[in-house]
A and B are shown apart, each in its own frame.
Chain A
Amino acid sequence: MVDLIKRAKELIETSVVKVLIGYEQGTANKTRALFVEKADDADRLIFDSRCVQNLAAYVTKKEVKEKGKMAIAATLPVMRSIIQLASEFQVNDNNLLVLGITPESKLIEFANLVEVETFVHKYEIEIDARNKEMLDKLEKMTQAERWKFWMDELSPCFKCYACRAACPMCYCSRCTVDFNQPQWIPVPSHELGNLEWHIMRAIHLTGRCIDCDACYNACPLSIPINLLTKKMLADAKEHFGAYQPSLKGDHLMSTYKPDDKENFIQ
């Protein structure tokens, strides 16, 4: 990542950006986010296969955004998140510069988000084989079996909301679970509270989730909650066509088309 370090230094030194978000070596064998604000700190930047945290979660964080224009070292999932965030007016060319890291670990500096979008669209969002297999397995279960599967998986959830915190698309300053008038979702982590929270989360992410697995990776109990969003991704594809984040903002789940195959709205 010599290129990245060099470019990061230039960007900071010339004040093109105030902060660059990348990865550094963390504790134990973890990697973690690094916020480069001084050129010297850029030497700590790293990139390798362990760098899977979706850094796009930081571009909407108040304390980071307040620093001024940001640059981000963005892998493909991060770039996808950024395009989706841009389509929801959370970032734009004025506050974010994208230094792309291609799946081949090559650095590309994009002039603007349109270029990022063009790059992103070269790759389809595809559910990996292991999870596809798991979804097939779930599909083949009887309703009762599936219910038991989810009850077993979701019962340990203690609602720490690490899944929400790690997700770039969960940037709402007041999440549905934080509303209490009415109390849409029960606050305590019991069967009903957990189930409703995770279903609500998956539904809010459908047509926005870029399938980065940040939620699953963040879960301290390794609950496979990403299966819910993956299932929604697969279903949405079947009904409305493949999902790609797009600057045009034609959101998969909230765009009306006259030729929509569902006729309830016509």
Chain B
Amino acid sequence: MMDNLYMPYLMRIDRITYEAPGVKTFMLKFVNEADQEKFSYKAGQFGEYSVYGVGESTFCIASPPTRKGYIECTFRQTGKVTNALSDCEEGSIIGFRGPYGNVFPIEEWKGKNLLFIAGGIALPPMRCVIWNALDLRDNFKDVTIIYGARTVKDLVYKDELKDWELRKDVKLVTTVDPDGESPDWKGEIGFVPTIVEKIAPSSKGTIAIVCGPPVMIKYTFPVLAKLGFTDESIYTTLENRMKCGFGKCGRCNVGKVYVCKDGPVFTLAQLKELPDEY
């Protein structure tokens, strides 16, 4: 039998972490060691996760390639498949195929400052590249993370946020939308674009990586432009609907560009070349 593109790896759920209401992280290990050995990926790539009998769902690999032996994914319970995933227990077997798509060009960012801006459930795609960068910390100058969610409860990776907060080599700013704060909230209060403007990170020698809901992205780009970021120095990911992940099922294209193959990582300069269909 020749290769079947649609055949997932069997993955065992090794650990489940409850992140926020409806949001969980799975640590997944390959059932077959041989699969594990030939598997490799880079920050920014995604895959198709499946519950057998229910279907497949697309999301990023949330753990960095610098951590070997497992992958992690974080998802919010919203559709048929993510609901079924949410019902899975530690030890359950699910499917994973990938990695697909392009990558964040981390090698090209050597010697630069990194500014990560994320909103809500969009931290996972960025977590992969954050940890990737932190695991290679000496390659970069200042690392700033601005992360916002609607409410304190909605912040994901709470333990890691604490870690980042304590690290001297990371500047972490967390924020929640007005009225989303808890009585003991010590972070910022305000929408992400406002906080970016307030913090005003220097654009000099800095790469900005922005992931979040469309409305957050829409209002963050002009703020970055005001701070002097060029379109080439701003990166984001698109998350169009997909079924196959490899350029055939016909869903994810934005004009001539296939998000699954040419993306999901784009610079703002590239986005500006695309028709408004994402």
Contacts and interface: CB of A to CB of B under 8 A. Distances in A.
Whether A and B touch (Cβ < 8 Å) is answered with yes
A180 interface: yes
A266 interface: no
A85 B79 CA distance: 32
Interface of A: 180-181, 183
A176 to B, nearest CB: 15
B158 interface: no
Interface in B50-84: 79-80, 83
A183 B80 CA distance: 9
Interface string B68-104: 0000000000011001000000000000000000000
A183 B83 CA distance: 13
Interface of A is mostly: loop
Size class of the B contact interface (CB-based, 8 Å): under 10
A85 B66 CA distance: 60
A185 to B, nearest CB: 14
Contacts of A180: 79-80
Nearest to B55: A180
Nearest to A180: B80
Contacts of B80: 180-181, 183
Contacts of A183: 80
6 contacts: A180-B79, A180-B80, A181-B79, A181-B80, A181-B83, A183-B80
A183 B81 CA distance: 12
A183 B55 CA distance: 11
Contacts of B79: 180-181
Identify the 6 closest CB pairs spanning chains A and B, nearest first: A180-B80, A181-B80, A181-B83, A183-B80, A180-B79, A181-B79
Contacts of A181: 79-80, 83
Contacts of B83: 181
Nearest to B80: A180
A189 B103 CA distance: 37
A16 B151 CA distance: 50
A181 B77 CA distance: 13
A43 B31 CA distance: 70
A180 B83 CA distance: 11
A181 B82 CA distance: 11
Nearest to A181: B80
A180 B53 CA distance: 13
Nearest to A179: B80
Nearest to A187: B55
Nearest to A182: B80
A181 B79 CA distance: 8
B136 to A, nearest CB: 41
B261 to A, nearest CB: 25
A43 B22 CA distance: 58
Nearest to A183: B80
